[in-house]
């Protein structure tokens, strides 16, 4: 996260735009990382297997192609023979897509601190490279992300989402979330999250325009086709930047290290259904998304997928060369 974006978020907190809702773990990494953004993220992440052709098409729609027709961001072969990552391998015609939703809190930089949280959700493609990456470089690319303050206070997410998209190149939009002020909703034994794009709010007179990005319905379960090690590996891959400070030509990426390795970060394996909607990918409002169409039946529903819930402590480092970022991933986060 750039210094500009950090200062904007802190300014929003100062004028009272971020309400106070507690996440489930403390920020214990701030003391050792005073000059970069640190935070906690109480979230749920699922691995959704999607047809490779559709995933590449979704990447091309955002990151584009070169004049020679080469994709700027390209899928990498998966380490599917590594049983510590993929115990049962992985279908050769599919690629992982990460769908994530939760509550971020305790956001700090130096002496600045935000007491209030932001709800956030992302659609991320792991195991990718830039067109000019060195051999061995492994990155991730965000398709769409969403944020808002508690109780769907989109004002709290307005400036951060704009700065993130235009300046840094993380595609962030104003979101609508359910639950509106917690990491997930509990109904009996079933947990759920909903993330939508708040295209046109209408809180006074009636319905607004909200386009679905992702819905999760899940329970606690045992991981069979994935592992916790795999999720840590994917989430800690450096992210490709494509905004003003991180154009594709500048070859910049950002390490966002997520630490799940202490007693505040208990990992809960999840099994459930994920629905990817029209706003999971694409750069403009659409009635049907590329990833949505790739689901069995073409309506975006992916059944019996695996994931986990946990509260991570995060460190967002300054942008750096993508190849260097891949080499510099903190192994203690894996």
pLDDT of residue 112: 61
Q: Residue 201 — pLDDT band, cuts 50, 70, 90? A: confident
Model pTM greater than 0.75? yes
Mean pLDDT of 78-101: 98
With a pLDDT cut of 70, the percent of the chain lying above it is 81
pLDDT of residue 14: 34
What are the residue ranges spanned by the domains of the chain? 3-333
With a pLDDT cut of 90, the percent of the chain lying above it is 63
- The mean-pLDDT minimum among 140-144, 176-180, 197-201, 245-249 falls in 245-249
Give tens-digit pLDDT for 75-86. 999 999 999 999
* Three-state secondary structure of the chain: CCHHHHHHHHHHHHCCCCCCCCCCCCCCCCCCCCCCEEEEEEEEEEEEEEEHHHHHHHHHHHHCECCCCCECEEECCCCCCCCCCCCCCCCCCEEEEEEEEEEEEEEEECCEEECCCEEEEEEEEEEEEECCCCCCCCEEEEEEEEEEEHHHEHHHHHHHHHHHHHHHCCCEEEEEEECCCCCCEEECCEEEEEEEEEEECCCCCCCCEEEEEEEEEEEECCCCCCCHHHHHHHHCCCEECCCCCCCHHHCEEECEEEECCCCCCCCEEEEEEEEECHHHCCCCCCCCCHHHHCCHHHCCEEEEEEEEEEEEEEEECCCEEHHHHHHCCCHHHC
Give tens-digit pLDDT for 287-330. 999 999 999 999 999 999 999 999 999 999 989 999 999 999 99
pLDDT of residue 208: 80
Selected residue with higher pLDDT from 243 and 71: 71
pLDDT of residue 197: 94
Q: Residue 34 — pLDDT band, cuts 50, 70, 90? A: confident
Give tens-digit pLDDT for 281-295. 999 999 999 999 999
pLDDT of residue 149: 85
pLDDT of residue 159: 46
């Amino acid at each position: 996260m750039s210094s500009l974006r950090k200062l904007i978020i802190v300014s929003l907190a100062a004028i009272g735009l971020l309400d106070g809702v507690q996440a489930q773990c403390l920020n214990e990494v701030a003391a050792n990382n005073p000059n970069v953004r640190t935070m906690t993220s109480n979230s749920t992440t699922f691995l959704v297997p999607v047809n490779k052709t559709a995933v590449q098409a979704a990447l091309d729609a955002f990151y584009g192609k070169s004049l020679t027709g080469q994709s700027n961001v390209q899928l990498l072969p998966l380490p599917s023979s590594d049983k510590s990552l993929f115990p049962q391998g992985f279908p050769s015609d599919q690629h992982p897509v990460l769908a994530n939703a939760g509550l971020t809190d305790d956001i700090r930089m130096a002496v600045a601190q935000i007491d209030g949280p932001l709800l956030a959700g992302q659609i991320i493609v792991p195991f990718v490279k830039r067109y000019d990456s060195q051999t061995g470089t492994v990155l991730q690319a965000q398709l769409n992300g969403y944020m808002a303050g508690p109780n769907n206070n989109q004002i709290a997410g307005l400036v951060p989402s704009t700065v993130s998209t235009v300046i840094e190149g993380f595609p962030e939009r104003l979101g609508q979330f359910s639950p509106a002020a917690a990491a997930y909703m509990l109904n009996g034994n079933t947990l759920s999250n909903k993330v939508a794009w708040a295209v046109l709010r209408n809180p006074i007179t009636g319905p607004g325009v909200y386009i679905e990005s992702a819905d999760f319905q899940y329970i606690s379960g045992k991981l069979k086709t994935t592992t916790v090690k795999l999720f840590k590996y994917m989430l800690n891959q450096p992210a490709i930047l494509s905004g003003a400070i991180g154009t594709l030509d500048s070859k910049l990426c950002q390490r966002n290290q997520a630490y799940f390795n202490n007693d505040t970060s208990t990992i809960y394996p999840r099994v459930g259904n994920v629905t990817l909607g029209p706003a999971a990918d694409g750069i403009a409002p659409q009635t049907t998304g590329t990833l949505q169409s790739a689901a069995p039946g073409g309506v975006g529903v992916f059944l019996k997928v695996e994931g986990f819930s946990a509260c991570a402590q995060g460190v967002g480092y300054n942008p750096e060369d993508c190849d260097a970022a891949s080499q510099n991933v903190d192994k203690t986060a894996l």
